[in-house]
Amino acid sequence: MSDPSEVYNHQTIKDVLDELERTAVSRIAAAESAEELEKLRLEFLGKKARLSLVLRSLGGVPPEERSGLGQRANLLRRSLEERLKEQSGKLSKVLKPRAFLDLTLPGTRPERGAVHPITRIIAQITDIFEKLNFEWVEGREVETAFYNFTALNIPEDHPSRDSFDTFFTKEGHLLRSQTSTVQIRVMEKRKPPLRIIAPGRVYRPDTVDASHSFMFHQIEGLMVDEKTTFSDLKGMIHVFLRALFGKKTKVRFRPHFFPFTEPSVEVDMSCFICDAKGCSVCGQKGWLEVMGAGSVDPNVFKAVGYDAKAVQGFAFGLGVERIAMLKYGITDIRLFYENDIRFLKQFQ
Ligand code: DAH
């Protein structure tokens, strides 16, 4: 069979085409799988298929006999290609659902999200204060020294203004290191009476370890009215800590110093784990330090243009991570920022 024209002469070419026309179309239509179709494609249209040999051997057929045969062979080839495609389309429609849609299989559950513990604590705390008629406000994270220090009665030579304690930008702005800035932002725009609660991020150039981060969250509170006394502050803080940590919580106030409040206190609450008996959470002290507070310093009122003799107020500030760590028994602050799904899932 070295010369195909010997075998595929005019008559045999005709026979081959006749036979193919008779059988190929019905065999393609009967194919039941992609593999079967592929076999048929090789058999009818592959390099070694008879139709291919026919087309190749046409050159050896005398021109007068050749006419019509080439056209017939080419038409057949195209028609078979067409039918293979059609059948493969039909099979994919029929077989796919059969292969992939098993209604008895258990479904895949969508992953359930969880509220981040920091967001959750912020919501719990602001909810308590909103019931006490405090209004949620937000300030800015990029601030100026005026709002972060000067207006808060923090002197020019105070160490917190140092670049070791505050992030400064080249343009002379800074990342707020405390949410107390929001007190100033609100008071310079509005007149008393005021009751605000201001959650947000703060930044300090601390080296990251189990209890420090360069970014964390604080909540600032401020109440200003004609008469707002230190006992109002004490009462509100009692209500707040008992709502958050339980009715048995005891509160104590220790004298402290903050530039923006006078007098100032640090607030401790009885350890809710050991009920003030002493345990590892409270370091055997029975008490946990939870926030700073005090009566607004008259210099702060002056900085925002209030008449310091006509108004009184109190302010407080707390660290959200610290509260969350206490409440959920978390011992490493970094867990809040790594967003490990196994950690976050526990707060569903
Ligand atoms: N700003 C203080 C801090 O970052 C927290 C604070 C203490 C806020 C006393 C206050 C306050 O409003 O009265 O440590």
Structure confidence by residue, pLDDT tens digits, 216-227: 999 999 999 999
DSSP 3-state assignment of 89?
helix
pLDDT at residue number 19 = 87
C-alpha 53/C-alpha 15 separation (Å) is: 13
Give domain status of residue 109, yes or no. Answer: no
Helices 10-30 + 69-100 axis angle, to 10: 20
Whether 38 maps to a domain, the answer reads yes
Residue 54: the pLDDT is 82
Q: Is residue 1 part of a domain?
A: no
Range scoring the smallest mean pLDDT among 8-17, 66-75, 90-99, 256-265? 90-99
Distance CA 329, CA 120 (A): 15
Q: Structurally, how many domains does the chain consist of?
A: 2
Residues 32 and 160 in one domain: no
In sequence order, the β-bridge partners of residue 246 are: none
**Which residue has a Cα nearest atom 13 of ligand 1?**
293
Q: Say yes or no to pLDDT of 251 above 90.
A: yes
Q: For residue 212, give the DSSP letter.
A: B
Is 310 part of a structural domain of the chain? Answer: yes
CA dihedral 285, 319, 118, 315 (to 10 degrees): 120
25 versus 137: which is more confidently predicted? 137
Supply the range of the domain harboring residue 209: 117-347
290-339 per-position pLDDT tens digit: 999 999 999 999 999 999 999 999 999 999 999 999 999 999 999 999 99
Span 99-136, pLDDT tens digits: 667 788 888 888 888 899 999 999 999 999 999 999 99
Residues 236, 146 share a domain: yes
- Residues touching ligand 1 (Cβ under 6 Å) are 178, 180, 220, 258, 261, 292-294, 315-317
For the chain, the distance separating the N- and C-terminal CA atoms, rounded to the nearest angstrom, is: 78
- Does a structural domain hold residue 165? yes
Residues 152 and 59 grouped into a single domain: no
Model confidence at 73, pLDDT cuts 50, 70, 90, reads confident
Does the predicted model carry a pTM greater than 0.85?
A: no
Which atom of ligand 1 is the closest one to the Cα of 293?
A: 13
Q: Provide the b/e sequence for 146-179 (b: ≥16 CB within 10 Å).
A: ebbbebbbbeeeeebbeeeebbeeeeeebbbbbb
Q: How far apart are CA 245 and CA 150, in angstroms?
A: 35
Give yes or no: residues 216 and 310 share one domain. Answer: yes
For residues 253 and 168, state if they share a domain: yes
pLDDT at 93 > cutoff 80: no
Q: What is the pLDDT of residue 163?
A: 82
Q: What is the CATH number of the domain that holds 293?
A: 3.30.930.10
Of 149, 178, 187, which is best to mutate to test ligand 1, by the most ligand atoms within 8 angstroms of its C-beta? 178
pLDDT on residue 96? 57
Same domain, 299 and 186: yes
Per-chain mean pLDDT for the chain: 91
Residue 97: the pLDDT is 55
Residue 2 within any structural domain of the chain: no
Using the mean position of ligand 1's atoms as its centre, give its distance from the Cα of residue 18 in Å: 97
Q: Which tokens is 151 given?
A: 């207006």
